[in-house]
């Protein structure tokens, strides 16, 4: 495949199994993510999508198999990853500014209780510029809208200058118009950062990502933007019909079927 020849792998997952106590959550996962990929990961609730992200971050240890990040172990390679979780709970009355929230993205890269350097301040300012939030850098985080906060959290993830960005449902708490702004932002960031995004937003998956993976305990991924009927039936365990949201972003190729499908 030309993609494998031209680009280097940044994440390599081989035969990975993950369990909580005695319950298996991920079964024999194999996935190679290449530099500049933008992969949308879809699947039902409880299918293991967030669990996979946690394994990539080293928060869960696989029971078997291996994960390599930038050719290194997870413990060594995770410093190359920026992460935006699905939900971030906070006290809206807590007196912390946007700039200070973004600064927290540097905590894993520097010694504690040391004064910020000029270069680090410039990194924070640049991260805010990347997400179009520089003008609100001194605003208390509790005064922002859901979409604005999400952009701040993306900026926080960018301060460590990651080569890989993991996002777990980045638009779960925002309206469709704001979601579009965030996806446009991610598309721009993808020019220099590889992205793996978990999402239930099929419109986003069909319109913004480069390739799609389906996960329900097992991974179905072919390095393509097309999701076949067989893949959807396998992960949702019932007939699913996908509708493209405007050409050329067709997710599911036309297929001949006389039977009734469940939307």
pLDDT at 261: 42
Q: Residues in the chain with pLDDT < 50?
A: 1, 243-263
Estimate to the nearest angstrom the gap between the alpha carbon of 37 and the chain centroid. Answer: 11
Q: What is the pLDDT of residue 171?
A: 86
Mind giving me the DSSP string for 206-262? HHT-SEEEEEESEEEE-SSS---HHHHHHHHSS-B----SSTT--SS------SPPB
Strands 211-216 and 9-20: unpaired
H or E element, residue 164: strand 164-168
The whole-number pLDDT of residue 239 equals 57
> From CA 162, how far away is CA 83, in angstroms rounded?
9
**CA-CA distances (angstroms) from residue 200 to 47, 67, 88, 106, 173?**
12, 25, 18, 30, 12
Determine whether 85 is exposed, middle or buried from the number of CB atoms within 10 Å of its CB (0-12, 13-18, 19+): middle
Q: What is the pTM of this model?
A: 0.83
Sheet with 9-20: list strands edge to edge: 23-34, 9-20, 64-69
Reported as a single tens digit per residue, the pLDDT across 25-38 is 999 999 999 999 99
Structural domains of the chain in order of their starting residue, each with its CATH number: 2-236 (3.40.50.300)
C-alpha to C-alpha distance for 245 and 57, rounded to whole angstroms: 33
Alpha-carbon distances, residue 237 vs 1, 12, 173, 227, 260 (angstroms): 30, 27, 27, 15, 15
Q: What's the pLDDT score for residue 222?
A: 83
């Amino acid at each position: 495949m030309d993609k494998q020849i031209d680009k280097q792998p940044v994440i390599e997952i081989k035969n990975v199994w993950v369990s909580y106590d005695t319950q298996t959550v991920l079964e024999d996962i194999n996935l190679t993510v290449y530099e500049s990929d933008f992969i949308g990961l879809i699947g039902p609730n409880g299918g293991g999508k967030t669990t996979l992200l946690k394994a990539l971050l080293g928060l869960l240890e696989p029971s078997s198999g291996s994960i390599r990040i930038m050719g290194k172990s997870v413990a060594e390679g995770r410093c190359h990853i920026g992460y935006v979780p699905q939900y971030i709970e906070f006290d809206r009355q807590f007196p912390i500014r946007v700039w200070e929230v973004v600064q927290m993205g540097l905590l894993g890269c520097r010694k504690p209780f040391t004064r910020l350097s000029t270069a680090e301040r410039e990194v924070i300012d640049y991260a805010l510029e990347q997400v179009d939030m520089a003008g609100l850098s001194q605003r208390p985080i509790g005064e922002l809208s859901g979409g604005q906060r999400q952009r701040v959290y993306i900026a926080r993830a960018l301060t460590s200058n990651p080569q890989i960005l993991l996002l777990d449902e980045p638009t779960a708490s925002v309206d469709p118009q704001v979601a579009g702004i965030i996806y446009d932002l991610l598309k721009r960031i993808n020019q220099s950062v590889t992205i793996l995004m978990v999402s239930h937003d099929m419109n986003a998956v069909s319109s913004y990502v480069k390739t799609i993976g389906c996960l329900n305990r097992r991974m179905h991924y072919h390095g393509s933007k097309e999701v076949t009927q067989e893949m959807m039936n396998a992960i949702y365990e019932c007939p699913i019909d996908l509708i493209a949201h405007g050409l050329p972003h067709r997710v599911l190729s036309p297929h001949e079927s006389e039977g009734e499908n469940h939307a």
